[in-house]
Amino acid sequence: MMCVESLLVFLAASKIPLVTFLSILLGFVLRVQTGAVFQQVLIEVGRFSR
């Protein structure tokens, strides 16, 4: 929880628009999610082709 609070303080100090920050965060989360899904698909395909 402490890192979240310090991150919010940093955002308030740096005057980054919240929308911009949220869109970057959302893009990062989506990239991680699709990466995990893609990895899972590769694992399944590898298991199936054996």
Q: What is the DSSP string of the chain?
A: -HHHHHHHHHHHHHT--HHHHHHHHHHHHHHHHHHHHHHHHHHHHHHHH-
Is residue 41 a part of any domain in this protein? Answer: yes
State which residues form the domain around 33: 16-50
4-50 tens-digit pLDDT: 788 777 777 777 677 787 888 888 888 888 888 888 888 898 888 76
Is residue 43 a part of any domain in this protein? Answer: yes
Q: Cα separation of 22 and 17, whole Å? A: 9
Number of domains the chain is built from:
1
DSSP state of 16: -
Has this prediction a pTM greater than 0.75? no
Is residue 26 a part of any domain in this protein? Answer: yes
Is residue 46 a part of any domain in this protein? Answer: yes
Is residue 40 a part of any domain in this protein? Answer: yes
Q: Is the pLDDT of residue 1 over 70?
A: no
